């Protein structure tokens, strides 16, 4: 019987079919087969994880949108400061320079000394002329007083009295002019000592000992501690901006540090309108470009002296508009 079954299962061409790959294996559970054939991305744990990631992404997206809607920022922003140009008010040779480049100075500190010998001599001469004018004025006053007494007694004519009083007035005027000259020479002598008008840091020093300087010639610049930020926001960003709104200021030179400030004011007009060559839109070649509006931002607290902030440094201000 076995031999007949074997012959009956043989192929017509005489070849015997190979045994099945599953022959001799134990039968599998019918519920395991679909799970094994299912793609990995359709498995329950993958779908659950994907749903969780979508929920997290949605929450973070909503929060980021809400944060972005309440913030306005720009990279077109720079630090500004009051820069005082130090110039002499008298001419002469520089006798001594008391400061160096990038030195911190206090208000009233001596910066430059100009040779004052000629100014001292001029002051002595002016004082001498003032003394002579005062003596002449006293004599003229005495003569006028005597002339008035004599005229009251009718001992001199009216013309003599008028002449004495004219000399008195002339002498008084000469005395005032001499005193003014003394005051001017005292000022010139004082101006030979160039002092810092307020505290700051010395920059662009060109003064050297021995050089001759004219009145108004630049000697150095003094960068004061009065700092602020000028941020050029797009005109589409300033609609909700108001004076007093808080600002976070990040300086490129000091990453990781955040300075606090607030909006001081918003310029009435775009930066291009006040440029040297403002655009002429009536020329027929108009192309609409989003304009920039300067916004002044001041620091809430003076920056730490250890942080060297100066004009021209790049910053990124972020304004909370809501």
Does residue 48 fall inside a structural domain? no
From the number of C-beta atoms within 10 Å of its C-beta (0-12, 13-18, 19+), residue 250 rates as middle
Query: What letters, b where the CB count within 10 A reaches 16 and e where it falls short, cover 108-129?
Result: eeebbbbebebbeebbeebbeb
In order of 141, 144, 153, 170, 201, the CA distances from 156 in angstroms are 17, 12, 8, 21, 72
The structure's pTM equals 0.70
Are 316 and 267 found together in one domain?
yes
For residue 21, the model assigns a pLDDT of 46
Average pLDDT, the chain: 86
Check residue 34 and report its DSSP letter. Answer: H
| Residue 99 to residue 32: CA distance in whole angstroms | 89
Q: What is the pLDDT of residue 64?
A: 64
Is the same domain home to 218 and 286? Answer: yes
How many DSSP H helices and E strands does the chain contain?
5, 13
Boundary of a domain, candidates 172, 191, 210? 191
CATH number, position 145: 1.10.287
63's CB contacts (< 8 A; 6+ apart) are: none
pLDDT at 190 over 80: yes
Q: DSSP class of residue 269?
A: S
Last residue of a domain, one of 191, 218, 237: 191
**What pLDDT, on a 0 to 100 scale, did the predictor assign at position 2?**
44
Q: Flag whether 263 is in a domain.
A: yes
| Same domain as 135, residue 111 | no
262 lies in which domain range? 76-115+198-322
Q: Is residue 299 part of a domain?
A: yes
| Model pLDDT for residues 45-87, shown as the tens digit of each residue | 777 777 778 877 877 776 666 555 679 999 999 999 999 999 9
Is it the case that residue 162 has pLDDT exceeding 90? Answer: yes
**Mean per-residue pLDDT, 255-265:** 94
Q: Are residues 209 and 176 in the same domain?
A: no
Q: Are residues 179 and 210 in the same domain?
A: no
295 and 149 both lie in a single domain: no
pLDDT exceeds cutoff 70 at 30: no
- Of 201, 236, 242, residue with least CA distance to 220: 201
Note the pLDDT of residue 177.
Answer: 97
Residue 290 lies in a domain: yes
User: Where residue 321 sits, what CATH number does that domain have?
Assistant: 2.40.30.170
Whether the pLDDT of residue 6 is over 50: the answer is no
Q: Give me the number of domains the chain comprises.
A: 2
SS3 258: strand
Residue 4 in domain:
no
Whole-number Å distance between alpha carbons of 273 and 232: 13
Please check whether residues 222 and 301 belong to one and the same domain: yes
Tell me, yes or no, whether 182 and 294 share the same domain: no
Same domain, 214 and 108: yes
Residues 96 and 130 occupy one common structural domain: no
Contact (CB, 8 A) for 228 and 101 = no
In a domain, 180, yes or no: yes
Do 252 and 273 fall into the same domain? yes
Residue 238 scores a pLDDT above 70? yes
Residue 267 placed within a domain: yes
13 part of a folded domain: no
SS3 266: strand
**What's the maximum distance between 2 C-alpha atoms anywhere in the chain?**
186
Q: Which of 191, 206, 231 is the last residue of a domain?
A: 191
CA 170 to chain centre: 56
Q: Looking at the structure, tell me whether residues 296 and 203 fall in a common domain.
A: yes
- Are 270 and 236 a contacting pair, CB within 8 Å? no
């Amino acid at each position: 019987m076995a031999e007949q079954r074997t012959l009956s299962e043989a192929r017509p061409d005489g070849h015997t079919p190979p045994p099945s790959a599953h022959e001799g294996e134990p039968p599998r559970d019918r519920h395991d087969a679909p799970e094994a054939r299912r793609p990995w991305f359709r498995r329950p744990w993958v779908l659950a994880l994907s749903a969780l990631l979508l929920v997290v992404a949605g929450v973070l997206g909503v929060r980021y949108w809400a944060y972005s809607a309440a913030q306005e920022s720009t990279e077109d922003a720079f630090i500004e400061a009051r820069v005082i140009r130090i110039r002499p008010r008298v001419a002469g040779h520089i006798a001594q320079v008391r400061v160096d480049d990038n030195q911190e100075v206090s208000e009233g500190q001596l910066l430059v000394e100009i040779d004052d010998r000629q100014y001292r001599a001029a002051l002595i001469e002016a004082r001498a002329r003032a003394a002579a004018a005062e003596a002449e004025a006293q004599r003229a006053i005495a003569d006028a007083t005597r002339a008035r007494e004599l005229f009251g007694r009718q001992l001199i004519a009216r013309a003599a009295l008028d002449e004495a009083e004219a000399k008195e007035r002339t002498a008084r005027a000469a005395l005032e002019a001499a005193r003014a000259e003394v005051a001017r020479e005292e000022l010139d002598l004082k101006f030979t000592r160039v002092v810092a008008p307020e505290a700051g840091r010395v920059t662009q020093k060109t003064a050297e000992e021995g050089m001759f300087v004219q009145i108004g010639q630049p000697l150095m610049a003094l960068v004061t501690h009065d700092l602020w930020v000028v941020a050029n926001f797009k005109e589409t960003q300033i609609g909700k901006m108001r004076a007093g709104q808080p600002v976070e200021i990040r300086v490129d030179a000091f990453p990781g540090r955040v300075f606090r400030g607030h909006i001081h004011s918003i310029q009435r007009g775009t930066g291009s309108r006040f440029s040297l060559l403002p655009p002429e839109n009536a020329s027929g070649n108009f192309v609409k470009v989003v304009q920039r509006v300067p916004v002044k931002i001041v620091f809430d607290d003076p920056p730490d002296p250890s942080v060297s902030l100066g004009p021209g440094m790049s910053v990124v201000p972020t304004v909370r508009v809501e």
